[in-house]
Each structure stands twice: as structure tokens, then as C-alpha cells.
Amino acid sequence: MIRVLIAPASSGLERAVRSSSSLEFAGSLDPAQLAELSGDVLLLEAAAMQELDEQSLADLPIPVILLLDSPDPAIVTSAFRAGIRGAISSDATPEEIESAVHAVNAGLVVATPASVAGLLPDPQSFAEDLAEPLSARELEVLDLLAEGLSNKLLAHRLSISEHTVKTHVASIFVKLGVSSRTEAVSQAIRRGLVML
């Protein structure tokens, strides 16, 4: 059972925590009481974070998930710099909250695409550096290459022949200026074409 604290008190969040069979509601806190934590994970409303400095957040002994009303890149950047382990929407479903709590409790970092969208470079700007852009199908192949799939599995997943896969892979190599799958994936990650 993961003991979850909430700051500040929120009946909606409390209901979401109590609805989970794997979470235990450990209480609500005022932001000024955060030094008195006695739980495993803290759900912190973005408005409450405004009352704290980065050092106070960094000193918290348990993982923190920030609940955002809107994905403001400045708030998200500040939160992650302070050591917050998660950033999710304040209207997340009970299932999403439960998943986020389990993830941060296991040492992972959780963020929704919307919460980090302003922090990531625009993949299109990196893709435009290519002499010839990758086609939609080549991008699909590249994503699956990043998963480590063999040509046979790639062909099966995309419902195409292995020969067609080899043609797409060769074209990707030429367009990215690489000579191996590892280089292709590495280059794609640097260019923002693939997210791991």
C-alpha cells in the first residue's frame, strides 16, 4: 500500500486516492506543514507550489507529483529543477493518478505530453535540417527501429514485406547519413524524430 499525502486539501483528490485499492490516503497538508511529511508520495497542487521555494521542494523526503491546471513551461521547468518527480494534469483520472503514484514511488519520472511540450524542441525544426525529409512510413520504421525490432518483426508489425522494410531502412540510412541501425536511432533521437 502506497501512502499518499495531498497538499492542500482537496476532496476530489482524496476521493481519487481512496478509490484505489493500492493507495492509502495519508492525509492533507497545508504547504507550510510540508516538513511534517509522513507518507510515501505527495500530490501537490501547482498553486501550493507557488508558496514554496525550490530549496524547500528539493528538501522534501518523498517523491512529489505536481498537479497542473495548465501546462505552463516555466512552472514545469522550475518543478523539475527542484526535484519534483511528476507533472500531471489536475483533472487526471483516478487511474492516471494511481499510475503516476506507482511510477514515482518506483523511482521513475512522470510527465504528460502536454506538461513537457513547451520544454521540448520542435521536431520539425530538426527534421528540416535533412537534405530530404523522411516520409511518414520511414518515421514509423524509425520508431520501430528504436524499439529494437528485427526486419522480420518490423514487417509483421507494419504488414509489409521484409524486402520493403529493407528498402525503407536503406532510405533512412541515406537521409540521415548513417551506416547502422544504432547510428540511425541515435541520430533520430538527437534530431527529435524519435522519443524513447
196 part of a folded domain: no
Distance CA 31, CA 101 (A): 19
For residue 19 the three cell numbers come to 478509490
Q: Which comes out higher in pLDDT, residue 35 or 141?
A: 141
pLDDT in tens, 57-67: 777 889 999 99
CB burial readout 14-31, b (16+ within 10 A) else e: bebbeebeebebbbbbeb
Query: Which of residues 71, 102, 118 is at a domain's end?
Result: 118
User: With 0-12 CB in 10 A as exposed, 13-18 as middle and 19+ as buried, what is 162?
Assistant: middle
Whether residue 127 sits in one domain with residue 113: no
Least confident residue range of 11-20, 35-44, 147-156, 176-185: 35-44
Query: Which of residues 118, 143, 167 is at a domain's end?
Result: 118
Q: Per-residue pLDDT averaged across 131-135, rounded?
A: 84
pLDDT > 60? residue 126? no
| pLDDT given for residue 196 in this prediction | 60
pLDDT band at 150 (very low <50, low <70, confident <90, very high): very high
Whether residue 156 sits in one domain with residue 101: no
Whole-model pTM above 0.85? Answer: no
Whether residue 179 sits in one domain with residue 89: no
Whether residue 98 sits in one domain with residue 18: yes
195 part of a folded domain: no
Q: What is the CATH number of the domain that holds 24?
A: 3.40.50.2300
Whether residue 102 sits in one domain with residue 30: yes
Whether residue 158 sits in one domain with residue 113: no
Whether residue 85 sits in one domain with residue 16: yes
Q: Per-residue pLDDT averaged across 171-196, rounded?
A: 86
Contacts of 66 (CB under 8 A, 6+ apart): 44, 46, 49, 75, 76, 79, 84, 86, 87, 88
How many domains is the chain partitioned into structurally? 2
